[in-house]
Amino acid sequence: MANKTIKFRNMTGEEFRTFKERSISEYAFDLMNGQNMTREEAFKNAEEEFDEGLADWPDTPDQFVIKIDDTETGDEVGWMWYTYEDGEDGKQVFLCDFLVYEEFRRRGYASAALAEMERRAKADGLEYAALIVWDHNPAGQALYKKCGYEEKERDEGYALMKKKISEGNMEKKYLFEKLARDAFEKEGFNGTWLYAENGEIVSKGAVGWLDPESTVPLTEDSIFQLASVTKQFTAAAVMLAVRKGLFGLDDELTKFIPELTKYKGATVRHLLTHTSGIPDYFDDWNWFVDIWKKEGRIPGNDEIVRFLLETEEEPYGAPGEVFSYSNTGYNLLALLVEKLSGVPFEEFLKNNVFEPAGMTNTRCCHVRRDGVPFENYARATVYDDEGGFHADVDSEAAACCVPFDGLNGDDYVYTTILDMFKWDRALREEKVLTLEEQKLMYTPGKLNNGENAGFDDEGEGYGFGWIIEHDEKLGLIVSHSGGMPGVNTWFFRLVDADRMLVTLNSREWVDARAGLGFEKATLALAKDKEPEPIVSIEDIAIKDPDKSNWESFCGKYEHPEDEDFIIDGIFLKDGELFAKAIDEDGDDFEFRLYPIGENEFGRKGGMIRLTFGEGCLTYLKKTCKKL
């Protein structure tokens, strides 16, 4: 018998009413025959059990009532009702009702439908499938046994049968797949992921498209820009240069670049831990933009010294005084490696890091300046409300990425999830760096006051290109994230537990909650925690909100000084509430506000929450008076 190809589809309201009537009738028949109930008792029980599960249909997220169609002929061949629940052995899918129409029986449709139910349940992270079969249904008993179900319990007139549908880490595998699929559908992820334990890949995959102009799907071999995840490779290059005796961690920058007298006292160690005080080039990025626009070229990394001299940016503080994230510091580290090794930085990484690690699909390069040197490139894609998706170079975001494409050290390593897996193994097997060298990199930098250097809200400190944290159960965890217009990357190494997680995303988050939710959920899964479901702003927005007081929110508001992002005004448009904001460059833009609580609103493109009070507006923990 040929395998049947079937598909599930949701029932219409009319189909559900027909299904309900017949399902209750047939279940009542089973109760009369299997448990000797009277007709009145049987129908009463059948109706009560049906309503217990489906009284609120279709608002029943864990109840699935579907029609079964033949994908080739289009014939409707039956129905199925199943639910997700907690069983004694773990999470399970329970088959409540199942019918293949008589004219389609004994043709393979039943086994195909069971397999599809199990596939979906596995993808959603469930471990078991369960059902009951009546003693007066020998054909059903034979079918379920053939499909791998075993009798677990017996009661009056029926048997409980179960089947394990996941093995070992299969639950994690399918949970990762579900999270990625959900995030993609909610416009929070377009990329690849890989999770491994003890050197074995548990889950890997791809969802979405290679670039905005085509329908070519991403694959596990798609190549992504790493953004700031690059910094760990720069730090590795620095450690190798130190091993070679090219310079020391406590050598001052001015020993090799004496003209940078304004930053005297800053050492290689300071640069690695973002404690040098050297300002970030994004503070005066127009220097790069002007060269790009006026001279028609993209500055190279060897011009970073000229940038510092010409812009005359003041230090954030004396070396070791403050932690202040500086991409410029990593540009200078790449410059030092190149200058003192006599080898282009790109080549140094290739010869000393990527090749020893077996990372054959990884390179440091400049696709906006020199063109794309490889196939299967996941082009960074940005979004705007009016025009949809665009390649970063073809959008207003071009000025945020193209002028910097000649730099090195802080960004511009391109790789795949499989090569990042190789990098994790290479570190563990000491193919590039010794464990002692890695231990030094995984130690938080120190400020002059003895405190750890690092972000206030991430980990316990910043080492050499890694954010450091310790988990009570899993031990040492080192990580880094990366972001550019259209790029979001995350890499976690659970060092003591021998686990790793990498996610590479090449499309700007249309819904920031879904995007950030995906990153948090996948990390929770890697840490053996229950992941939160992926939600979009539409999921949490109040349906049919009371808008009677919305007009009172409209108007201009005062705003904090020296903020990169300010709310300038609130207004109504087409019956919805909108905000006008001003970014750090002085450009204004509008976005819709979604009601998520009493007088509380959220934004689709970001995580900001706005709360309206009596004559005031609160956001970013600051309250602004209405003017």
Q: Residue 319 in contact with residue 266, Cβ under 8 Å?
A: yes
Q: Residue 194 in contact with residue 420, Cβ under 8 Å?
A: yes
Per the document, the length of the chain is: 627
Token code pair at residue 14:
């009319």
What are the Cα distances from residue 250, in Å, to 247, 267, 449?
Answer: 8, 5, 18
Give backbone dihedrals phi and psi of 537, rounded to 5 degrees, phi first.
-60, -35
Of 271, 298, 556, 246, nearest to 402 by C-alpha is: 298
71-110 CB burial, b ≥16 within 10 A, e <16: eeeeeebbbbbbbbeeeeeebbbbbbbbbbeeebeeebbb
CA dihedral 292, 297, 302, 303 (to 10 degrees): -40
Residue 477: enclosing H or E segment and its boundaries? Answer: strand 475-484
Quick check: is 552 catalytic?
no
- What residue has token string 């959603």? 124
Handedness of CA 319, 322, 327, 328 (dihedral sign): negative
Pairing state between β 461-462 and 76-86 = unpaired
CA dihedral 311, 316, 318, 323 (to 10 degrees): -140
Q: Please give the full DSSP string across 401-441, using - where no structure is assigned.
A: TGGGTT--SSS-EEE-HHHHHHHHHHHHTTSSS-HHHHHHH
- What residue has token string 């990199």? 441
Q: Annotated catalytic residue: which of 203, 228, 395, 536?
A: 228
Cα separation, 255 vs 591, whole angstroms: 50
Cα separation, 274 vs 74, whole angstroms: 62
Cα separation, 231 vs 157, whole angstroms: 66
Cα separation, 471 vs 493, whole angstroms: 12
Helices (H), 36-193: 39-54, 109-123, 138-146, 170-185
Of 524, 466, 521, 531, nearest to 493 by C-alpha is: 466
Listing from the earlier edge strand, what are the strands of the sheet with 413-415? Answer: 224-225, 413-415, 363-364
Q: Residue 352 in contact with residue 237, Cβ under 8 Å?
A: yes
**In one letter, which amino acid is 529?**
K
Which residues are tagged catalytic? Answer: 228
